Amino acid sequence: MPEPIRVLVTGAAGQIAYSLLYSIGNGSVFGKDQPIILVLLDITPMMGVLDGVLMELQDCALPLLKDVIATDKEEVAFKDLDIAVLVGSMPRRDGMERKDLLKANVNIFKTQGAALEKYAKKSVKVIVVGNPANTNCLTASKSAPSIPKENFSCLTRLDHNRAKAQIAIKLGVTSDDVKNVIIWGNHSSTQYPDVNHAKVKLQGKEIGVYEALKDDSWLKGEFITTVQQRGAAVIKARKLSSAMSAAKAICDHIRDIWFGTPEGEFVSMGVISDGNSYGVPDDLLYSFPVTIKNKTWKIVEGLPINDFSREKMDITAKELTEEKTTALEFLSSA
C-alpha cells in the first residue's frame, strides 16, 4: 500500500461536502489502493454538525480512510497537505451586492492562502470550489507565493458536464459519447460554453457537434443560456444549490489531475492565464481547455476561434478583470 495522502475539504459541514466526502473516502477519486487521511475544516459554529459528519464517515467503515480529522483550526487543517479542496465560502445573501460578496471572500481566501503557504507541502494541489471561484482561487494563489501558481485551479467542470449533458440529451446519446466541449472564462453567467471543437459519437462514428445537430440557432442561443443559468435553475427548483452534481464534478476534476486526461480528450478548468495563445490577459484565473499528464495541466493551444466565440471570450475576461481589480483593492487594504 502506498503512503496515505492528506486531503483537506473546507466547508466540510456543508451540503456539497456531504455529497463529496464519501466518494473521496471510497477510492473513486484517488484510486482503490490509495489510503487517505481526510481533514475536515469548518467554522466554529458548525463543529456540532461536523461531528455528525465525522460519525457518519466512521460508520461507512471505508478501508482506505486511515484517519478523519475534524477541526476549526487552520494550523491543524492545512498541515502537510497533498490536496486542498476549498469548498467553503461566504454564500451570497439576499440583497447582497457582488462587491460585498467579493470582499467577504477575499478575506477568507487570503487567510486560507496564507495557511497553505505556512503549513502545507509546496507540492500541494489546490482546487477552489467556493464562489466566486475564479477570483477566490487567484486570491488564494497570490497569498501563497511560494506554492507554484500552476498548483491552483478552480472548478468549471460542473459547467463542462452540464454542457456535455445538454448536447447528449438533445442527440439522444449518453454524455460519454460527447467530448471536448469547452467552458471559457468565469464560473458565472458570463461563462462561454463552446462546442465548436466538440465531437459526438453517432453510429460508431465521431463527428462534430455542429454537424451532428444541424441546429446552429439552438447552439448559439438556448444551449448557451441553459448552461450559463443552470445553477440558478436548480436553486429555483430545489430551493437548494446543486450539491450532488457539484460533488461529482469536483471528483472528475481531481481524478483528472491525479491520473491525467484520456488521449485525444480535453477538459475545462480554471487555471492561471499566463502565456496563453487566446488573447486572454495574463494573471487571470480563467477557464480553458486543458490536457493533463503527470499531474501537470497544459492549455490546449491552436484551436481556431471564430468571431462569435471571440466576443463571448472577451466578455467573460472583462468580468474577471473587474473582479480581480476589486479583489486586489480589498487584498491591499486588508
E strand spans, 24-164? 36-41, 65-71, 83-86, 125-128, 152-154
Give Cα 141 distance to the centre of its chain: 15
Domains and CATH numbers, the chain: 5-154 (3.40.50.720), 156-322 (3.90.110.10)
* CB contact at 8 A, 158 and 164: no
* Catalytic member of 160, 187, 197, 253: 187
C-alpha 202/C-alpha 210 separation (Å) is 13
193 CB burial (10 A radius; 0-12, 13-18, 19+) = buried
Distance between CA atoms of residues 249 and 174, nearest Å = 17
The rounded mean pLDDT for the chain is: 96
How much is the pLDDT for 94? 74
Cell of 150: 500552476
Give binding residues for NAD(+) as ranges. 42, 105, 129-131
**For 56-107, how does the pLDDT look when each residue is reduced to its tens digit (9 = 90+)?**
999 999 999 999 999 999 999 999 999 999 999 998 777 777 788 899 999 9
> What angle, 0 to 180 degrees and rounded to 10, lies between the N-to-C axes of helices 157-171 and 244-259?
110
For residue 87, the model assigns a pLDDT of 98
Residues 6+ apart with CB under 8 A from 51: 70
% pLDDT > 90, the chain: 93
Location of C-alpha cell 487566446 = 278
187 catalytic residue (yes or no): yes
Confidence at residue 334, expressed as pLDDT on a 0 to 100 scale: 62
Nearest one of 276, 291, 287 to 312, comparing CA atoms: 287
Question: Taking each helix axis from N to C terminus, what angle separates 98-119 and 133-142, rounded to the nearest 10 degrees?
Answer: 40
- Binding residues are 42, 92, 98, 105, 129-131, 162
